[in-house]
Amino acid sequence: MYVAVKGGERAIDAAHAWLAEVRRGDPSVPELSLAQIREQMAIAVHRVMTEGSLADPDLAALAVKQARGDLVEAIFLLRAYRTTLPRFGNAVPFDTGRMAVRRRVSATYKDLPGGQVLGPTFDYTHRLLDFALAAGGVDPPAAPEAPAAVEPMASVAGILDHEGLMEPERADEAGSEPFDLTREPMGFPAGRDQRLQALVRGDEGFVLALGYSTQRGFGGTHPFVGEVRMGEVPVEVEIPELGFAVEIGAVTLTECQMVNQFRGTAETGPRFTRGYGLAFGESERKAMGMALVDRALRAEELGERAIHPAQDEEFVLMHADNVEASGFVQHLKLPHYVDFQADLDLVRRLKAEWEARRATPPAEGLKEAAE
Amino acid sequence: MTVPRNDVPTGTEARRRWMGLLARGATERLESVWAALPDAPAYDRLRGPEIGLVMLRGRAGGTGARFNVGEMPVTRCTVRLADGRVGHGWIQGRDRRKAELAAAFDALLQDDEARAGLEASLLAPIAADLDGAHAAAARKAAATRVEFFTLVRGDNPK
């Protein structure tokens, strides 16, 4: 229980003034522009967009700047901002097959159509600090170019689908709209649409750790990265006045198709099962963790015993959101003076009784206990 | 969008295309072409420009049932020319001026004569900008494509 406490306005104002000052840091150091954050801290910006549920790099960069680089705080700022705007409608669902691919790798097929395209990856870097960057002032040479292939990048899931070795995806249920966590509270049992939305919004560290737990034996599904792809995907929006959809822009997405082993059932026979991850921007770790957890959460649907944390949808979905988690943990800082007074009285009384018992002779103590 | 430059399509498909190009063109290009119009028409703003959100959606597994991924800011505007033609502008992001220009051009482009000129001065250059940006990224991606080679052991017969 918390009690309204008045006072402290002056202290709060002074604290916020000091916050503004430390946010700026040493004034002899040039101030960061949003464009600098957007361009040079891009992956932090992408994470804030994904978990903040708002695809706008400039607003995410502003949130990162305002939050002094505290990404969970920045995510909170972006979530709060979106509540100030009306919703005009829904976009046509992404067709990730139309992605202008900058990266696409598969761990299941070496020579798949379109090939293995590494893109601008940290993979294979030596993870040695680069002191040339510390010195700064030198622009990197332009990245090499090669003739672009015209070969379409077929999805790996589609290849397996052709052979009947992959479970088919379910179509939309006629007449139903996907669950929307921004409009409806979390409910259980959750459909896959609700789970996927919650996982996109979910904390990268939490989702990654749960995915990792499945690899270590807590609900393992023997996953293979069928495919990870990253690039720009068109955004089409239906113009209500005109009754047709227009391609108004594009967003960068990272998509992970995880292929998992499955024994099959009497009805379906042996085939692979799917886990799916999707995130804004270059967010490969998040998309992969999400794909592992998505598959783990399908345990019941696939007739598996759900006994591990990553398979427990209430555990996963109720604790994945870092804005909620941070809010509830941090509310412990709010005044709990009355609560604590009550506890304090209780502990004092118990301690006094305990001391009184210790001071009395054992025989009488036994009798007292027997009463 | 690879519609041949001299083949101006008509009807809904044509409008879909130009509205998409207006939405994705640079504001500066829209602004400069508007400023250079010999007889830029006056218009009334019927709605907006106003900023809102659209919910972006994915499909489970890429092809399955829809789910909500997250929202994206958009700006929309509707204008009416003196002759009654109504234009709509819908753009990604929060640039009110761009949405207004897109709406005004959408109204103008419904006139066949105006469209022929704007195809050359506005739409084709936007399409070229977009194609150029895509092609540059595609060439860089192609350079990172892995060329596998198999090591041949010395004792293998040739």
The one-letter code for the residue type at B59 is R
Q: Of B12, B23, B70, which has the smallest distance from its Cβ to A248's Cβ?
A: B23
Higher pLDDT, B20 or A363: B20
pLDDT for res A366:
56
Q: Are A250 and A232 in contact (CB under 8 A)?
A: yes
Interface contact A53-B71, CB threshold 8 A: yes
Is the same domain home to A214 and A279? yes
Residue A292 distance to chain B (closest CA, Å): 12
Q: Of B56, B59, B144, which has the smallest distance from its Cβ to A91's Cβ?
A: B56
pLDDT for res A171:
86
Q: Is residue B8 predicted with pLDDT exceeding 50?
A: no
In a domain, A161, yes or no: yes
**SS3 per residue for chain B:** CCCCCCCCCCHHHHHHHHHHHHHHCCHHHHHHHHHCCCCCCCEEEEEEEEEEEEEEEEEHHHCCCEEEEEEEEEEEEEEEECCCCEEEEEEECCCHHHHHHHHHHHHHHCCHHHHHHHHHHHHHHHHHHHHHHHHHHHHHHHHCECCCCCCCCCCCCC
pLDDT for res B5:
38
Residue A14 distance to chain B (closest CA, Å): 34
Instruction: Give the residue numbers spanning the domain of B37.
Output: 11-141
The one-letter code for the residue type at A12 is I
Q: Is residue B7 predicted with pLDDT exceeding 80?
A: no
Is the same domain home to A353 and A226? no
In a domain, B77, yes or no: yes
Interface contact A86-B53, CB threshold 8 A: yes
What is chain A's pLDDT, residue by residue, as a tens digit (371 residues)? Answer: 555 667 789 999 999 999 999 999 999 999 999 999 999 999 999 999 999 999 999 999 999 999 999 999 999 999 999 999 999 999 999 999 999 999 999 999 888 888 899 999 999 999 999 998 998 888 999 999 999 877 778 888 888 888 888 888 888 888 889 999 999 999 999 999 999 999 999 999 999 999 999 999 998 788 999 999 999 999 999 999 999 999 999 999 999 999 998 777 777 788 899 999 999 999 999 999 999 999 999 999 888 899 999 999 999 999 999 999 999 999 999 888 888 999 999 999 999 999 999 998 766 555 555 54
pLDDT for res B6:
40
Is the same domain home to A187 and A265? yes
In a domain, A90, yes or no: no
Is the same domain home to A281 and A226? yes
Look up residue A98 and give its two tokens. 């139309």
Residue A34 contacts B, CB cutoff 8 Å: no
* Residue B88: strand pairing partners: B78
pLDDT for res A164:
85
ipTM: 0.92
pLDDT for res B63:
93
Distance (Å, whole) CA A129 – CA A303: 48
In a domain, A131, yes or no: no
Is the same domain home to A245 and A293? yes
Q: Is residue B142 predicted with pLDDT exceeding 80?
A: yes
Q: Express each pLDDT in B79-128 by its tens digit.
A: 999 999 999 999 999 999 999 999 999 999 999 989 999 999 999 999 99
Interface contact B70-A144, CB threshold 8 A: no
In a domain, B30, yes or no: yes
Is the same domain home to A248 and A286? yes
With CA atoms as reference, the chain A residue closest to B70 would be A53
Is the same domain home to A317 and A202? yes
In a domain, A109, yes or no: yes
Chain B hits for A93, CB-CB cut-off 8 Å, are 57-59, 66
pLDDT for res B148:
80
Is the same domain home to A255 and A162? yes
pLDDT for res B157:
56
Is the same domain home to A266 and A346? no
In a domain, A214, yes or no: yes
In a domain, B137, yes or no: yes
pLDDT for res A288:
98
pLDDT for res A5:
64
pLDDT for res B149:
75
Please enumerate in sequence order all residues whose Cβ is within 8 A of that of A172, keeping only pairs 6 or more positions apart, or say none: B65, B66
Interface contact A169-B69, CB threshold 8 A: no
Is the same domain home to A107 and A23? no
In a domain, B155, yes or no: no
pLDDT for res B40:
87
Q: Of A192, A247, A249, which has the smallest distance from its Cβ to B65's Cβ?
A: A192
In a domain, B150, yes or no: no
Q: Express each pLDDT in B52-90 by its tens digit.
A: 999 999 999 999 999 999 999 999 999 999 999 999 999
What value does the mean pLDDT of chain B take? 90
Is the same domain home to A233 and A279? yes
3-state class (DSSP) for residue A30:
coil
Instruction: Give the residue numbers spanning the domain of A51.
Output: 9-82
Number of domains in chain B: 1
pLDDT for res A39:
97
Chain A hits for B71, CB-CB cut-off 8 Å, are 53-55, 82, 87, 182
Distance (Å, whole) CA A76 – CA A323: 6
Is the same domain home to A261 and A345? no
Nearest to A59 by CA among B56, B1, B92: B92
Please enumerate in sequence order all residues whose Cβ is within 8 A of that of A91, keeping only pairs 6 or more positions apart, or say none: A235, A236, A237, B54, B55, B56, B57, B72
Number of domains in chain A: 3
Distance (Å, whole) CA A56 – CA B98: 16
pLDDT for res A363:
64
